[in-house]
């Protein structure tokens, strides 16, 4: 649950919003040993350690978050180290222990699950290290701060986006299914609460019937299998799919192509990945949720630098509210940015921001779709 601060922080909220609004877009390594660091001149006196989760659940971690964080740290002249756990909790734990023992001043993590994430953050706290949950809140983690997007709003955009796509297809009555993210990821729960909220009225009225609700575990193959199972169980009577990210949507669309129904059944996504944008332009995916990681990275780096400097006022100025740890009921000071729903009509926005490249999107069979949409 997201809570806004009261009047006491009104001016701080304004500063945080302005910080998000004014950021410019910024400019890969695949394994847990692929970290890098920097130490520019005139930077803060400390070091930031960052642990990214994997390279498979979404391409964003290495394609977008890493370069965005690197650019922000380099611009600030701060010493840093960024590593990727490669989807391995043992590797995540090793990286956490190494960073703590090496004397990082601030530890920023994207957890693989709350259990291993909380263990890491507990060690950081014991060592007197300030911590930032990046993108995913670690339940029972007790992070000093949380930097992310409004993830309930991300889910709402997927739900309302699916409804719009069904409306445009003339589907006033529809059988829909949910292919959710990994249940061990708190964000997956927040996304789901958002699209459940957005679609509740349609489901309660009987206009939509939820005929399937399964996890795709952020995995294209597992998501495709879950979709196919539900499609078979419902004798092919599926009219719309909420897929919680583009990676899973890609796996679902692959199965739809085999069935000859790709482009006929609206599918949502998230991350504005190159693959997701390609499927949108090709007419196989109805939309995706765009989260400009430059906003997260800039705010997280500004926050980390303020913590290194012991500047509590500057850190608080970036806070836009709090998010509830649902297992401890504690309120975590948070800086949340606003996501955007992307369809074929506004794919160009993602490119203009520098988040994706037309050269990467408009290749092979997608070139004609790009030309038709005026993508450049």
Q: Note whether 242 and 188 are within 8 A (CB).
A: no
Q: Contact, 57 vs 25, CB < 8 A? A: no
Q: Please check the confidence at residue 21 and state whether its pLDDT lies above 50.
A: no
Stated pTM of the model: 0.84
Q: What is the pLDDT of residue 269?
A: 98
Q: Which two tokens stand for residue 317?
A: 């100025």
pLDDT value of residue 61? 96
Residues 61 and 55 sit within 8 Å (Cβ to Cβ): yes
Q: Please answer whether residues 356 and 350 qualify as being in contact, where contact means their C-beta atoms are separated by less than 8 angstroms.
A: yes
Mean pLDDT of 262-288: 98
* pLDDT surpasses 50 at 41: no
With 80 as the cut, is the pLDDT of residue 30 above it? no
Query: Average pLDDT for residues 159-186, to the nearest whole number?
Result: 97
Share of the chain above pLDDT 90, in %: 84
User: Quick one: pLDDT band at residue 37, thresholds 50, 70, 90?
Assistant: low
Give the per-residue pLDDT at 5. 41
Q: What is the mean pLDDT of residues 151-174?
A: 98
Q: How confident is the model at residue 376 (pLDDT cuts 50, 70, 90)?
A: confident
Nearest to 121, CA basis, from 112, 190, 183: 112
Domains and CATH numbers, the chain: 2-143+292-338 (3.40.50.2300), 152-290+341-371 (3.40.50.2300)
Mean pLDDT to the nearest integer, 152-174 = 98
Ranking 22-26, 46-50, 224-228 by mean pLDDT, the lowest is: 22-26
pLDDT at 23 over 90: no
H or E segment to which residue 101 belongs: helix 89-101
Q: What average pLDDT does range 44-49 have in this prediction?
A: 86
Average pLDDT over residues 100-110: 97
DSSP assignment string, 161-208: HHHHHHHHTT-SSEEEEEEE--TTSHHHHHHHHHHHHHHHHHHHHTSE
DSSP lists the bridge partners of residue 269 as none
Q: What is the pLDDT of residues 52-104, one digit of tens each?
A: 999 999 999 999 999 999 998 998 888 999 999 999 999 999 999 999 999 99
Q: How confident is the model at residue 20 (pLDDT cuts 50, 70, 90)?
A: very low
pLDDT tens sequence across 229-260:
999 999 999 999 999 999 999 999 999 999 99
DSSP letter (8 states) at residue 270: B
What φ, ψ does residue 8 adopt, rounded to 5°? -55, -35
User: Quick check: 31 pLDDT over 50?
Assistant: no
CA within 13 Å, CB half, 79: 12
pLDDT(289) > 90? yes
For residues 206 and 42, which has the higher predicted lDDT (pLDDT)? 206
* Per-residue pLDDT reduced to its tens digit, 123-160: 999 999 999 999 999 999 999 999 999 999 999 999 99
C-alpha span between 240 and 237 (Å, rounded): 10
Q: What is the overall mean pLDDT for the chain?
A: 90
Give the pair of three-digit tokens for residue 104.
């990082």
Better-scored residue on pLDDT, 54 or 11 = 54
Per-residue model confidence (pLDDT) at position 14: 35
In the predicted structure, residue 226 carries a pLDDT above the cut 50: yes
Q: Output b/e per residue, 154-185; b: 16+ Cβ within 10 A.
A: bbbbbbbbbbebbeeeebeebbbbbbbbbebb
pLDDT at 214: 98
């Amino acid at each position: 649950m997201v809570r806004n601060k009261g009047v006491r922080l009104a001016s701080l909220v304004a500063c945080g919003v302005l910080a998000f609004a004014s950021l410019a877009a910024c400019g890969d390594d695949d394994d847990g040993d692929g970290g890098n660091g920097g130490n520019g001149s005139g930077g803060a006196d400390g070091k930031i350690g960052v642990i990214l989760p994997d390279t498979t659940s979404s391409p964003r971690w290495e394609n977008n978050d890493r370069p965005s964080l690197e650019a922000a740290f380099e611009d600030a002249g701060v010493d840093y180290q960024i590593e990727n756990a490669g989807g391995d909790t043992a590797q995540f734990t090793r990286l956490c222990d190494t960073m703590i023992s090496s004397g990082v001043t601030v530890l920023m993590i994207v957890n693989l699950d709350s259990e291993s994430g909380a263990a890491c953050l507990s060690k950081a706290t014991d060592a007197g290290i300030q911590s930032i949950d990046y993108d995913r809140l670690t339940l029972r983690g007790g992070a000093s701060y949380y930097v992310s997007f409004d993830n309930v709003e991300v889910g709402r955009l997927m739900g309302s986006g699916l409804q719009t796509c069904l409306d445009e297809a003339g589907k006033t009555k529809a059988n829909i299914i949910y292919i959710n993210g990994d249940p061990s990821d708190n964000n997956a729960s927040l996304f789901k609460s958002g699209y459940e909220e957005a679609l509740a009225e349609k489901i309660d009225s009987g206009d939509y019937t939820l005929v399937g609700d399964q996890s795709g575990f952020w995995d294209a193959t597992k998501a495709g299998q879950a979709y196919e199972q539900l499609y078979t169980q419902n004798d092919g009577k599926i009219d719309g799919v909420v897929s919680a990210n583009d990676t899973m949507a890609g796996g679902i669309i692959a199965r739809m192509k085999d069935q000859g129904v790709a482009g006929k059944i609206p599918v949502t996504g998230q991350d504005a990945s190159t693959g997701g944008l390609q499927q949108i332009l090709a007419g196989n995916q109805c939309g995706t949720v765009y989260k400009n990681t430059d906003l997260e990275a800039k705010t997280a780096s500004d926050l980390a630098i303020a913590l290194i400097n012991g500047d509590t006022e500057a850190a608080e100025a970036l806070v836009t509210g709090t998010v509830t740890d649902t297992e401890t009921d504690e309120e975590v000071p948070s800086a949340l940015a606003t996501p955007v729903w992307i369809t074929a009509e506004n794919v160009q926005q993602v490119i203009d921001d520098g988040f994706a490249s037309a050269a990467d999107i408009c290749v092979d069979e997608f070139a004609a779709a790009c030309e038709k949409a005026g993508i450049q």
